Amino acid sequence: MQTQNAEKTNLTMLTDFYEITMDNGYFENGFENRIAYFDMFFRVLPDDGGFAIMAGVQQIVDYIQNLNFTEEDICYLRGCGIFSEKFLNYLKNFHFCCDVWAVPEGMPIFPGEPIITVRGPVIQAQFLETMILLTINHQSLIATKANRICRAAGNRPVMEFGSRRAQGPDGAVLGARAAYIGGCCGTACTLCSRDYGIPAMGTMAHSWVQLFDSELDAFRAYARQYPNNCTLLVDTYNVLKSGVPNAIRAFNEELLPRGIRPAGIRIDSGDITYLSRKARKMLDDAGFPDCKICASNSLDEYIIRDMLLQGACVDSFGVGERMITSSSHPVFGGVYKLSGVEKADGRIEPKIKISENVTKITTPGFKKVYRLFDRDTGKAIGDVITLHDETIDDGRPYEIFDPDFVWKRKTVTNFRAVEIRQQIFRNGRCVMPERSIQQIQKDCKNQVNTLWDEVKRFENPHRYYVDLSQKLWDLKSRMISQCSY
């Protein structure tokens, strides 16, 4: 399992202050051993898309495995003047013992379904809220945006170029990690490459070209220095009048005599569709049909799609700010809500949050999430959320229905039911299966391919259904009707 190799920072105190004040209150009210269930889920898909991509689970594991309150932390909390010494002593001797379930990284996820569930002493389960949300919200957002961009590019590689526009160091490193999960072929972020084993990629900046006496001198020097991976940036002055002609000359003078073929050119400004077509002809006429053309410059899925529809001769893309910040939809919006409390006899008492805003009404209880796949096509039919003690028997017909419009029902047959979440902690011990980042990316591609093309549309995608089992729907309806306003 690939984790960050750098010395780890203690992130225990990276939490909302009210998590600690609530925990102190739980402790003082004798709830320190009360077993609670919390679900993380999200309500709205980024960019009005058809699905999102789960990412960030490994960082949650790393965080939990390093949870500990240092003497400095305890001194700070003591100085706040509101926490009891008994509670501070509890934190000083903190030992994580929760159970945690999560959807694996790279899996398509949908609104309303619990993508993470934490079961354990309420003090511990409550405390995880902030870190779970900030980690999964960020990386799932970037992985989702990257997946959209990579799908727009088709079979053409997309490189992550966003470090300089990311929101801080973690935004750059973990954003690049998430972008790789979403489908990028590599990253310009050296630290991310070092720590996560993601291929490092890049060419040159305009400053390299400007520093030399001439563009041709700059290209010659680069070709001599990096002959086996020579990609030249051709838009510093004029793409067609100087950039491409000088690149061709440098290829002929520095590479061909050594028996080396050029890797490519990069265009970073102007009408890239027009320029790439012209550049392609120039390269082909000069005997370099194998020389690739890379495009960069504030790209996103819509620009890439339109460029290719208009005949752009681009072989790969470098995408930065609009991917690393998900600028078109910069908030994922996941939430973390109490869904149940375990009684002394082991019975789970479901909990629900009611709101006049219907979308904020939660789904109660300890739950499972099944994905139903058509056995003939391999495509996903829909997801079903059930109570934890339910099992979907895929050997017999199963009726699914829209939980908002219950008259919309369908009986599915010849399907395979797969529980998509896996347990990642058992009694505080990590039990998550190891996967390399490359395997996660491969799994992501395979799982996205199980979705119908209609779900993958950028605009007005077909709604992928996340249904409730009849038993869970009955429970939720009953609890709503019992609540008084």
pLDDT digits (tens, 9 = 90+) for 277-334: 999 999 999 999 999 999 999 999 999 999 999 999 999 999 999 999 999 999 999 9
Model confidence at 1, in pLDDT bands (50, 70, 90)?
very low
Residue range 112-136: mean pLDDT, rounded: 98
3 within a domain of the structure (yes/no): no
Q: What is the pLDDT of residue 484?
A: 58
Does residue 320 sit in the same domain as residue 336?
no
Q: How far is CA 79 from CA 10, 13, 67, in A?
A: 20, 15, 21
Same domain, 79 and 138: yes
Residue 155 — φ and ψ, nearest 5°? -90, 5
Question: What CATH number is attached to the domain comprising 228?
Answer: 3.20.20.70
pLDDT tens per residue across span 413-460: 999 999 999 999 999 999 999 999 999 999 999 999 999 999 999 999
Residue 8 inside a domain? The answer is no
CA gap 160, 329 in Å, rounded: 18
Both 135 and 203 in a single domain?
no
Q: How do residues 188-198 score in pLDDT, each as one tens digit?
A: 999 999 999 99
**What pLDDT shows up at residue 485?**
53
pLDDT at 9 over 80: no
Does 5 score more than 70 pLDDT?
Answer: no
Q: What CATH code is carried by the domain that includes residue 400?
A: 3.20.140.10
213 or 482: which leads in pLDDT: 213
Task: Give the percent of the chain with pLDDT over 90.
Answer: 96
Same domain, 173 and 310: yes
Count of domains in the chain? Answer: 2
The residue range of the domain holding 179 is 152-324
Give me the percent of the chain exceeding a pLDDT of 70.
Answer: 98
The domain boundary residue, chosen from 324, 341, 361: 324
200/313 same-domain check: yes
Q: Which of 298, 324, 350 is the last residue of a domain?
A: 324
What's the confidence (pLDDT) of residue 390?
Answer: 98
Indicate whether 10 pLDDT > 90.
no
Round to whole Å and give the CA distance between 345 and 202: 60
Are residues 226 and 373 both part of a single domain? no
- State whether 403 and 301 are in the same domain: no
Give a yes or no: residue 234 inside a domain.
yes
Q: What is the pLDDT of residues 75-104, one digit of tens each?
A: 999 999 999 999 999 999 999 999 999 999
User: 220 and 305: one domain?
Assistant: yes
Mean pLDDT on 49-59: 98
Query: For residue 160, is pLDDT > 50?
Result: yes
pLDDT of residue 483: 82
Q: Which residues of 361-396 are buried (b: 16+ CB within 10 A; e: fewer)?
A: bbbbbbbbbbbbbbeeeeebbbbbbbbeeeebebee
Place of tokens 């440098």: 250
456-468 pLDDT, tens per residue?
A: 999 999 999 999 9
pLDDT at 396: 97
The pLDDT of residue 8 is above 50 = yes
Mean pLDDT of the region 340-350: 95
Q: How confident is the model at residue 43 (pLDDT cuts 50, 70, 90)?
A: very high
Cα 485 to Cα 183, 235, 352: the distances in Å are 47, 65, 14
Same domain for 309 and 359, yes or no, is: no
Mean per-residue pLDDT over the chain, rounded: 96
Stretch (H or E) spanning 280: helix 272-285
Residues 158 and 112 reside in one and the same domain: no
For residue 7, pLDDT over 70 is answered with: no
Q: Do residues 82 and 169 both lie within one domain?
A: no
Q: How confident is the model at residue 233 (pLDDT cuts 50, 70, 90)?
A: very high
Residues whose CB is less than 8 angstroms from the CB of residue 217 and which lie 6 or more positions away in sequence, other chains included:
none
